[in-house]
Amino acid sequence: MDIHEYQAKEILAGFGVPVPRGGLAYSPEQAAYRARELGGDAWVVKAQIHSGGRGEAGGVKVCKSEKEVAEFAAGLFGKQLVTRQTGNGGKGVYRIWVEEASDIAQELYLGFVLDRKTERIMVVASSSGGMEIEEIAEEDPESLVRMVVDPAHGLAEYQARELAFRLGLKGDQINQMVKAVRACYRAYRDLDATMVEINPLVITGSGDLVALDAKMSFDTNALYRRPQVEALRDPSQEDSREAMAHDNGLSYVGLDGDIGCIINGAGLAMATMDMIKLSGGEPANFLDIGGGASPERVMTAFRTVLSDPNVSVILVNIFAGINRCDWVARGVVEAYKAEGLTLPVVVRLAGTNVDEGRRIIDESGLPLITAETLAEAAEKAVAARPKRAA
């Protein structure tokens, strides 16, 4: 789960990371009022969306008057901001962050990610901040500093100090960097984060370190024990299909194809999508209904898949262990009738109570397409798609 910049800053500030003063606005008038509250003669106005590259897309501006703040904010609110990370649809701007302008002398990069190769948290830093980490790696790879954290000991002070030395910091900046790095690590560890990024972490004209921008992502599977983090979720920044699935406890990822998938088990879901591609089709989604799927849960899965207008075929692929094929079959039949489906539905059942499940499908009187194997199911789903005009 991603959160907004201002939310990440509030979290990191709570752990001891220095951030600029700022305020949240939900209207142009409120944005101007925030500038007045902060005082000064310059403010940075930032669109709050779950994406990087906002500056290049026109979502960030330094304003020199309250009127300019209000006018720029008015042009942002309700806009679909398209960045290099959002895709063509962009992300809606419904919140704006207004913060005091900073005197920037140098920009650094600081990030914490999970390194799956070493199964450790990795700290990545660079003396070339202000760019995406991919750009830094390509344009200035020598500036990158990597450090792996031993989970048994955590991030030691000497490691943070070494990081500061390797970035070329001196004097009190070293102590400030040590505090900031260790604070970021604690936030990552204590909140089940999967990524913490400060870009840029700036050195101001007075020599102080300040986190000018911040991003945090969290392990969705750990949110049940982090209610304070889950409360920061913003459904307006999510794919509407994924938001619907989340609200119903389903694992769903929207894709660009037209074959909707309802499957139990992440591994089987991946294999099914691969088989659809191998058969010449394109999956519309990843959807894992999980174990113990009741008929009601299957119906919810159908509604979630059908919320995508691009879906022209639905493929149900169940290998029942914890699940039961008869439960799934009842859910398929009930969903087909309740939703008044006219598009093709391919059903492949295997495992617990498979004979009873197949009997329910066969005796339903519905034009459901059945298959014995995954390969056969994928081929039938691809073949059942409406013919497209040349």
Annotation marks residue 109 as catalytic: yes
- Residue 107, marked binder: yes
Token couple for 33 = 């009022």
The verdict on whether residue 192 carries a ligand-binding annotation is: no
What is the rounded end-to-end Cα distance, in angstroms, of the chain? 41
Does 54 count as an annotated binding residue?
yes
* Structure-block tokens of residue 94: 């419904």
Q: Tell me how far CA of residue 370 lies from CA of 242, 299, 348, in angstroms.
A: 28, 18, 6
What is the DSSP secondary structure assignment for residue 280, as one 8-state letter? T
Is 99 labelled a binding residue? yes
Whole-angstrom distance, CA of residue 67 vs CA of residue 72:
9
Q: Strand ranges (DSSP E) for 11-143?
A: 22-25, 43-47, 60-63, 80-81, 91-92, 96-100, 104-115, 120-126
Determine contact, residues 167/125, Cβ cutoff 8 Å.
yes
Q: What is the residue whose two structure tokens read 């942002």?
A: 76
Q: Rounded to 5 degrees, what angle do the CA atoms 359, 352, 372 make?
A: 60
Catalytic residue, chosen from 197, 238, 242, 379, is 197
387 is in an annotated binding site: no
Specify whether the CB–CB gap between 146 and 124 falls below 8 A: yes
Return the CA Rg of the chain.
25
The answer to the question of whether 264 is labelled as a binding residue is: yes
Q: Which of 6, 109, 252, 336 is catalytic?
A: 109
138 assigned to active site: no
DSSP H or E stretch at residue 197: strand 193-204
88 is an annotated ligand-binding site residue: no
Residue 53 is assigned to a ligand binding site: yes
- The pair of structure tokens assigned to 272 is 């099914």
CA dist 361 and 376 (Å) reads 17
β-partners of residue 217 are 2, 195
Q: Are 197 and 214 in contact (CB under 8 A)?
A: yes
DSSP states of 139-189: H-GGGEEEEEEPTTT-S-HHHHHHHHHHTT--THHHHHHHHHHHHHHHHHH
Residue 276 and residue 282: Cα distance in Å, rounded? Answer: 6
Binding-site entries: 46, 53-55, 99, 102, 107, 199, 213, 264
Which positions make up the binding site for substrate? 264
- Which residues participate in catalysis according to the annotation? 109, 197
Binding residues for ATP: 46, 53-55, 99, 102, 107
Please state the residue numbers annotated as binding site for Mg(2+): 199, 213
